[in-house]
Every structure is written in structure tokens, then in C-alpha cells.
Amino acid sequence: MAAHALIPAGRAPAGPRRQRGVGLLQALLVVLAVGAALAAAAVLLHAPKPSRQATSQEQALAWADEAVMAFAAAHARLPCPADELHGDENCASGNAKGWLPLRSLVGASGNGRGIGPMRYMAYRGSGAAPDLAVAQNRYNPVDLAGDARDFDAINGLDFCQMLADAQGIGTDASVAHVLDRAGVPANVAYGIAAAGPDAGAAGRLDDRNASDSVVMEAPWRRGDADYDDRVRVRDLRELGHALGCRFARPDAPDSVALASVDLLSGSVTVAETVEEFQEFNRANAEVSLAFAIINEVFAVSAVALASANLSNSISTLATASAQLAAATAACALPPWAQCALIPVYSTAVGLAVAAVATSGAAIGANAAALAVTSGALAATSIAYQMAHGTTGGGSEADYGELADAVCTSAHGGMVPVLDGNNQPVPGQFVWQDGLEQQLVPVQAEVGVLETRVAIHQGVLDDWSTNPSSKIEYGRHGVDPSDPDHAGAYALLNTRLQENLQAIRGYEDLRLVYDQGVETAEAAKRVHDDAVASAVHLETVLIPQACDDIQSTVDQYRCDSFRKGLADLRECGNPAVKCIATMHQEWQDAVAARDQARADRDQQRQRLDDLHAVHVVRYNMQPCPLLDAPDLGSYPSYCRVLYILDQPDWDPRRPYGWHARQYVAQNAALEQKREELAELQERFDTAAQQCIDLRAIAGAPPGTPVPGVDRWKKAEDILRAVDWRGAVGPVAPEDAP
């Protein structure tokens, strides 16, 4: 019998038994969930990687860009590409594109760790296109004439010039460039490409960045599946601004910095000119003294010509000599302004020999030319002594003594007596009138001449209105109303007008002849003086100056005298009247004189042919004979319009005499007025120079004279500017 388990009482029978734990389906779901979570986590973990890579590339490019600019600022050139990754630059290869020379740049801008592969290209031209990776002396300051100075410093100024030169050439696809948005090449100073994380067909660098050609992808190219590099470039203008070149305008690549140094160079040119004037001041003074002595001879001739009012063709040299003396003396002083007058008054006298050759400059002919030129000769001698240190102590200028000399020329004073060699006699002095004293008599002469001209003009005007009223006419016992009396008076008046016109013509022609005589004589003296001066130059001055030349100044002195002689004899200098020209002017003056004499004699014949004015005897006395110069004895005063029976106390004169006096006095007045105006101008200039020199001489001892150091050291300042930041073969301690 089968056995059965006992079931406790009260408990229901149990159903089928259920399984315990996780089933297969549940396990599969868990695995899927975990896998999805892991995949999502992986995606989330890798999502920031492209952003971090782009940031890293930009940071590396920024560091490299700053490092390249720092290198350029320090070396006045761009670095050359490296042949290997993170290596040193290699300029010997001549390559314009390669790897970024990390080792060469770290010293210029600090630690460069963490930099990935980077390509680098630089603008390396040839010929007119500069090689920006080679330091060159491309810039030298220019003077006012546009000529470059010979400075050998190489620095940022030269690099700025290279950048400007590269811009001036225009687009060149044979040197570093990128393509703009239109695909047209655009030159750059340099370019840097940072490799992306993904390798392409040629490695981590993509497309043009990977090639050896002088072109890179443009910075604005967007990344895609085939391109993940990033590029940074600096065009020529941007690099210039970053380095302080400060280019003026996009269409004008001239650097403001270079223009500023050129402007300074122009100022230095002025300073150098002043220094040259100072260097040649001694020689100028000596040459001027020699020619001033000759000037005095020419002034004698000029006086006669001035009296004939021919100042348009002759110069008295008085103004030139006086201004020469003042300018030569004042050139020894700051602010050296008078040095600029030396070429006009001294070098022109010495080199061009305008004063020695006479009359070419036409600088104020006047009747006092000889006296003024003699005074100028003394002043020039003083300037010579001061230039040679014979009136002062040591090599420093005695400003007080110089002020005394200039003030004496303006206001008068005691001056040394000069010996036969125009050297001062010790202990002997004499009063010398200055320009102020010379003004007084000239002003008085102008007043006298104005009065005389007015008197003669009044008489002539009166006679012109009614000349016959000046004839005293009458007959004893005859009624003025008698018809015979009236007819005689009418005839007298008609003949009188004819005679009057003839006399006027004769007097005018006689004056022209007199002037012609004076002009011819003066022109001959000028010619003879020029010939004598040429002989003196050839036989005395040139041998003295040229036989023993030991310095540049000696050579200058010799050349000055030789050129003066050549200008006198060869007629090659248009600013100088040569001897041949003077000879021709002399012959022309003789011909003009002879023609004037013929015209005068012809007019005299007309005068002789006129009818006599038959004036009835006054008080039964005949008209006495007239003994007139150049006319001989004439039968009647009536013929030349004398007053009949004129008593001794009657101041009236004939018309011809008044006409002659009016012409002569009026010409003298015009000439004297010109002389006064010129003398006043010279006095005003000398008086102001006196004030200026007194102010300098009165400064406390040790007071720096304004401008001395600045002018004297101006070129050193310019050279220091050109040296600033210089690199190359010269050590910094050798720089100014």
C-alpha cells in the first residue's frame, strides 16, 4: 500500500512550488540598461574634446605670434624657419617655410612648453623685395638735400623701412602669402599654422599648410572633416603698427617714425651748416679783409657813378662791406643767426667776388660810399682780428668786446688806429662816427634839397603861365597904349616863346652830356680798378694763400682767391661782372657821351639860328652881352630871358638857369632819399644787433649761451637716435 504524507489538520493543501531569484529576461534588461548608460557616459565624456582642442590651438598660436614679434623687436628681423619640429632657426638654408623655430623663440618670449606641431613661413624676398628674415641697414636719415647719411646702425628703424619697402612693391605671389576670400594672393609678413588633432593625408597638418610652398590656408577657413588646422598671419602693415612703425595711411606705407627721424636729420643739416660756417669763419674773415681793401678802391669809382644816378649798373659796395663786417663778427656768437648771412655778404664777396668785380650786385649807390666803405673796412679788420683771436683771450669769444664793436658801428665810438697793414696800433684810438651820426647830415641834406627843388619848381611854374610878364619893357615918353608899343610887345612875346623852347632843349641836352662825361670817366675807373685787382689777386693774394696749404681751411682760402680771379677774367659766373663786361660798358659809355655831345651841339646851332628878340632899349641902355658857359657871348640878356636892367639886389634869374638847377637838384634829391632810406635800414639792423649782443655779454658768468650744446652736438644726437636699439656687429657700449 502506498505511503502518503500527513497533512496537518486545518491547513489547506499547497499548490505547485514557485521559483526564487532573477530570471533571464530581467538579467538581459539590466545588461542593456548598463550598456546604454556606459555609452551615454562615454559620449558625454568625449563631447568637450573638440572645444578644448580649438582653445589649445588658439593659445598656442597667440604665444607663437607674440614670440615672433618679440624676436623681431629684439633682432630687427623675423626668425627663419626651422628644419625640424621644435628646432632652432636655420637661416643658411634660405627656406621661407618650415617648422616654427621653437628653441630660438623660447629665449625671446619665455617658456613654450605644450606647443604642438606648428608650421611657419616668413616674407623672404630678393632684389627690391626685402628679406624680412635678414637684418639689413635699409634706412639712414636723409639731410635737407635728400642724401642719406652714412650711419651703420641696424635696428627697428631699418626693419620699419623693410616693411615699408615690401608694401611699396605690391602683391607678389613668390613670397609669403595667403588667398583672400576671392582667391587672390595677399602678402603677409609671416604666417603660423597649428596642427589639428586628426591626421590627414600628409600628417597632422592639412592642405597648403603641409606643403613647402610659400602659401598657407587663410585664417578664416572653417574646419570640416578634412581640415582641423588653425592659422594666424600678420600682414606687413599690422606688423609695422605692432612694432611702433606707425604707418601714416593705407595708401602711403611711409613710416611716421622714419619721417620723424628724417625731420630731425633735416634740423641737424642746419646745425652742420652752422658748424661749417664756424669752421670757415677764420678763413672768411681773412678773405673778407683782403677784398674789403679792394672794395675801398671800387667805392671811389662808385661815388662818381652815383652822382650820375646810374646805380642800376654800378654798386658802391658800402652796404655789402658793412653787413659783411657785422655778419662775420656775429657768426662767432650764438644763436649763430648771422652765420646764415655769411654766404651773402662774405662768401659772396670771397667766392663770387661780386663786390670785387664791382657793380653787379647794385647794393645802394650813394654819395657817401667812399666814407662808408672805409668805415666798413675798419669794421671788417676788427672782425678779422676777433676771428683770429687777436682782440680777445683764448679761444672763447669775448662777447663784451664783440658787442662794443657792433655797437660802435651803430652808434659811434672810439676805435683803434690801423697801420698800413690794417692792424691796430697799440694804445692809439680815434673817434669813428657810427651809422647814427651818419644819418644826421644826410637828413639835413635831404631837407636842403627839398627846399631848393621847391623854389626852382615854383619859379618855373610861374614862368610857364606867363613868361612875358617877367620882361620889364618900356620906353621913355611913350604911352603904353600906343599901337607901336602893343605890336612890339606881341612880337616880343612870340619870339620869347621860341627862344624859351630852344633854351629848354639845349639845357636838357647839356645835362645829358655832362652825365655822359661822368659816366664814361667812372666806367673807365671801374675797369682799371678791376684790372688792378686781378693783378693783385694773381701776384700777391694767391701766392700767399696757395703756396703752403696744410688744412681744409687753407685750401678753402686758396680756392676762394683763385675763383675770384677766374670770375674776373673768364666771365663764367653770371653773378659776377667780369673785366670784359666792364670794358664793354666803358666803351658803351664813351659812345653814349659822344652822341650826347653831338646832340647838344646840334641844339646849340638851332639856338644860334633863332631870331633875336628885338627889345627896345630900356632907359636908352642896350641889352648887355651874356657870357654863358658853353655858349659864349650872346648879344643880349633878352635872348636868354634875363630881366632887363636887373639891379644887383634883384634875385631873379633867367629861365635856363632855373631849369638846369631844377633838374640837377631833383636828381640829387632822389638819390639822397635812397641813400637815407638805406642808411636808416642799416642803422636799425646794427642797433638791434647791439642790443642782442649786450644782452648776451651781460649774462651772469657761467650762464650757458642758448643753443651752443644743442647745435654743436646735433649730429651726435641724431646718431644716437639711429643707434637706439641697434643690433649687429657693433656692441651697445660702442654706441653714442
Query: Are 276 and 223 contained in the same domain?
Result: no
CA-closest candidate to residue 318, choices 409, 422, 388:
409
Q: Which of 275-284, 596-605, 612-621 has the highest mean pLDDT?
A: 596-605
The more confidently predicted of residues 198 and 175 is 175
Write the burial class of residue 9 (CB in 10 Å: 0-12 exposed, 13-18 middle, 19+ buried).
exposed
User: 572: which residues sit within 8 A by CB, 6+ positions away?
Assistant: 566
Q: Which of 391-395, 637-641, 684-688 has the highest mean pLDDT?
A: 684-688
pLDDT, residue 4, reads: 47
- C-beta of residue 148 within 8 angstroms of C-beta of residue 140: yes
Q: How confident is the model at residue 281 (pLDDT cuts 50, 70, 90)?
A: low
Compute the distance between CA of residue 174 and CA of residue 618 in angstroms, rounded to an integer: 117
Q: What is the DSSP string of 64-97?
A: HHHHHHHHHHHHSSPPPPBSSTT--B--TT--SE
Average pLDDT for 205-224: 87
Q: Per residue in 39-97, pLDDT tens?
A: 666 655 555 555 677 778 888 888 889 889 888 888 889 999 999 988 899 999 989 99
Query: Are 288 and 210 contained in the same domain?
Result: no
Torsion of CA 376, 377, 383, 385, to 10 degrees: -160
Query: Are 96 and 240 contained in the same domain?
Result: yes
Q: How confident is the model at residue 250 (pLDDT cuts 50, 70, 90)?
A: low
| Terminal CA-CA length for the chain | 135
Mean pLDDT of the chain: 67
Average pLDDT for 324-339: 38
Strand partners, 414: 431
Q: Which of 127-136, 143-152, 308-317, 392-401 has the highest mean pLDDT?
A: 127-136
Q: Per residue in 499-550, pLDDT tens?
A: 666 766 777 788 788 888 988 988 898 888 888 888 888 888 889 889 888 8
Query: Are 227 and 109 contained in the same domain?
Result: yes
Compute the distance between CA of residue 358 and CA of residue 361 in angstroms, rounded to an integer: 8
Query: Are 354 and 215 contained in the same domain?
Result: no
pLDDT, residue 612, reads: 46
Structural domain includes residue 606: no
Q: Which of 337-351, 407-421, 466-480 has the highest mean pLDDT?
A: 407-421
Domain of residue 219 covers: 50-247
pLDDT, residue 403, reads: 74
pLDDT, residue 14, reads: 53
Query: Are 204 and 56 contained in the same domain?
Result: yes
For the chain, what is the domain count? 2
Structural domain includes residue 666: no
pLDDT, residue 621, reads: 41
Structural domain includes residue 294: yes
Q: Which of 291-295, 369-373, 401-405, 704-708 has the highest mean pLDDT?
A: 401-405
Structural domain includes residue 426: yes
Q: Is the pLDDT of residue 218 over 80?
A: yes
Query: Are 193 and 321 contained in the same domain?
Result: no
CA-closest candidate to residue 333, choices 721, 730, 699, 679:
699
Q: Is the pLDDT of residue 475 over 60?
A: no
Query: Are 220 and 358 contained in the same domain?
Result: no
Question: Which of 264-268, 450-454, 489-493, 725-729 is the least confident region?
Answer: 725-729
Query: Are 283 and 227 contained in the same domain?
Result: no
pLDDT, residue 430, reads: 87
Q: How confident is the model at residue 275 (pLDDT cuts 50, 70, 90)?
A: low
Q: What 3 state SS string does 520-580 have?
A: HHHHHHHHHHHHHHHHHHHHHHHHHHHCCCCCHHHHHHHHHHHHHHHHHHHCCCCCCCCHH
Query: Are 203 and 274 contained in the same domain?
Result: no
The more confidently predicted of residues 496 and 140 is 140
Within 13 Å and on the Cβ side, how many CA atoms surround 87? Answer: 12
Structural domain includes residue 158: yes
Structural domain includes residue 349: yes
422: left (phi over 0), alpha (psi -120 to 50) or beta: left
414: left (phi over 0), alpha (psi -120 to 50) or beta: beta
Average pLDDT for 661-682: 83
Buried b or exposed e, range 81-100, using 16+ CB within 10 angstroms: bbeeebbebbbeeebbbbbb
- C-beta of residue 516 within 8 angstroms of C-beta of residue 599: no
Measured over the CA atoms of residue 527, residue 529, residue 534 and residue 539, the dihedral's sign is positive
Structural domain includes residue 337: yes
Grid-cell match 672805409, residue found: 374
pLDDT, residue 563, reads: 84
Element (H, E) at 252: strand 252-255
- C-beta of residue 254 within 8 angstroms of C-beta of residue 248: yes
Query: Are 107 and 241 contained in the same domain?
Result: yes
Structural domain includes residue 109: yes
The set of cell numbers assigned to 409 is 658801428
Give ∠ CA 674-679-683 in degrees, rounded to 5: 150
Query: Are 304 and 218 contained in the same domain?
Result: no
